[in-house]
Structure formats: C-alpha cells, structure tokens
Amino acid sequence: MITIYHNPRCSKSRQALDILSQKHDDFEVVLYLKNPLGQQQLENIISILKIEPEELVRKNEMEWKDNYKGKALSHKETIMAIAKYPKLMERPIVVNNKNAVIARPPERVLEII
C-alpha cells in the first residue's frame, strides 16, 4: 500500500499527489497536520527513509527557530519535536511498503511506485 503524508497547502505536496494520482489508483492520503503522527510512526518513517531524524526537519519554520535552533538534540528529542510540531516535518513523504522518499522534487514519487 502506498501512503502519502500530505499538506494540501504545500505546492510540492500537491504536485506529488497529482503525479501519484496519475500513476497509481490505490493509495492512502494522510493529512498529518490534522492527524499528527506519533513518535513510533515517525521513527518508522525515518527508518524506511534511511535518514537521520534531523533530515526530516524543516529548519526554516518558526517553531524550529524559536524552540530548537542551535541546540544539539538527540534523535529522540528531534522526533519528539516533530511530533509536537507536525509543521516541522518535511513534505511530502511517500511510502510504498519498505521504500520511501521525501518527494522534493515531486517527481521523486516515481522512484518508488
């Protein structure tokens, strides 16, 4: 099953969703700002992406600048920050079983479908 973690206000996320819609007809859309992900879900996504938690953070967001910029956070603390402030999570993320991409640029979706 393919899952896209989507923010409708983000143009890259909308473009990735459009590409996915054109190429595949069976996928789940998770509106992660309305239904924030928990720590375990985030750890799972990070594991599938094969990245460090900090690579999932949008560092230009005010929540990051105001609360975490310049601090040396552990992996767990970074994941907890994303769970507390879902807006910090890079987007869109597309997961297809044991493969995943941060779809920036949106065409990266094609790598895993």
Kindly list the catalytic residues: 10
What lies within 8 Å, CB to CB, of 13 at 6+ separation is 4, 6, 7, 91, 92, 103
CB 112 within 8 A of CB 20: no
DSSP lists the bridge partners of residue 27 as 2
CA-based torsion, 13, 90, 6, 17: positive or negative: positive
Residue 71 DSSP one-character state: -
